[in-house]
Amino acid sequence: MFAMPELPEVERVRVTLAKHVIGLVVSRVSVRRPDVVHGPRRRGCLLENQTISGVERLGKQLALVSSNISGEPGPCVCVHLGMSGSLRYLPPDSVDSLAPHTHVVWTLSSPRGENGGRIAFADARRFGGLWTFGSRENLVKSRWRRLGDDALSVSPAVLHRRLSATRRVVKAALLDQAVIAGLGNIYVDELLFRARIHPLAAANQLDSAHVQRMVRAMRALLREAVHNGGSSLRNYVDADGTSGRFQKLHQVYGRAGCSCVRCRSKLEAATVGGRATVWCPTCQPRRPAAAVTTKKD
């Protein structure tokens, strides 16, 4: 079963990492597996001798942002966890040895030169990787420009415009990172269930009331998932090595054939856009979206 970290899991990594590393200096970078690094691989490009000034996120991607000793913007490393990647913070007193498949290690120190621990990027299946940029601005102008708005902050009007522009079914459109960034198979199914929208509804048939309902459900769902540490189906952990609990609260994902938590109907399943998809035939009836709003009764 594929279970790629989605927005809530990546946001947890961001928050747990940021709490430890902002303000620390990268004293050394060790690249054990150069082919996970895309773009210039000089150690300076991987933040050596720079101060970590921020840990940012857009959709499922993270960025370690740096500044130089005088506080001017420095290079930036975009981190994609792919299917199996992890970004762990190892404190100075950590006795843990590095996980297998650790490809890059940043050794940190405080501005006064005290041991600041390490950051370790590991990725067994190597669907993830690191992308180096001369500055945060370059990342935003190139790699991140291809992504849609972040699922936690997208406005209903923007999402409605994006969905109106595609003839795909809504499930496939929401999985497309260029339409909206951060959702994957788990949270799209959960979100459509909460918003009572059938996964095979045509994206361009959803009216603004549907999209508003969807955005409200999406924000609530993602916040709840972040609050619960994200979903750990295989081996996802945050930067502190803590697993998520949200998988216990999934209402449709992974529950094909079980009864709906709301109405007890048997949940249905099909493959949509190549992904296993589960929905409730009663709570998410399949009907032309337009008919719902034009009905006179």
Which of 69, 72, 71, 80 is closest to 139 using CA atoms?
80
User: Is residue 48 flagged as an active site residue?
Assistant: no
At closest approach, how far in Å is the CB of 261 from Zn ion? 8
User: Is residue 6 flagged as an active site residue?
Assistant: yes
Which of 56, 58, 66 is closest to 29 using CA atoms?
66
Interacting stretch for Zn ion, rule CB under 5 A, among 71-79, 163-171, 208-216, 276-284? Answer: 276-284
At closest approach, how far in Å is the CB of 262 from Zn ion? 4
Check 41, 168, 213, 275 and give the catalytic one. 275
Interacting stretch for Zn ion, rule CB under 5 A, among 59-67, 215-223, 241-249, 281-289? Answer: 281-289
Residues in a beta bridge with 64: 55, 77
Task: Report the 3 state secondary structure along 171-239.
Answer: HHHHHCCCCEECCCHHHHHHHHHHHCCCCCCEHHHCCHHHHHHHHHHHHHHHHHHHHCCCCCCCCCCCC
Which of 202, 219, 214, 223 is closest to 157 using CA atoms?
214
| x-marked contacts with Zn ion along 221-260 as a string, rule CB under 5 A | ---------------------------------------x
At closest approach, how far in Å is the CB of 24 from Zn ion? 49
User: Is residue 5 flagged as an active site residue?
Assistant: yes
At closest approach, how far in Å is the CB of 281 from Zn ion? 8
Which of 103, 109, 139 is closest to 121 using CA atoms?
103
Rule CB under 5 A: is residue 201 a binding residue for Zn ion? no
Q: Pairing state of beta strands 37-38 and 129-133?
A: parallel
Residues in a beta bridge with 31: 104
- Specify the amino acid at residue 94: S
Which of 154, 104, 150 is closest to 131 using CA atoms?
104
Rule CB under 5 A: is residue 192 a binding residue for Zn ion? no
User: In terms of CB distance, is 197 or 283 closer to Zn ion?
Assistant: 283
User: In terms of CB distance, is 15 or 261 closer to Zn ion?
Assistant: 261
Rule CB under 5 A: is residue 262 a binding residue for Zn ion? yes
User: Is residue 171 flagged as an active site residue?
Assistant: no
**Residues designated catalytic:** 5-6, 60, 275
The residues of the shown chain that bind Zn ion, judged by CB under 5 A, are 260, 262-263, 265, 280, 282-283
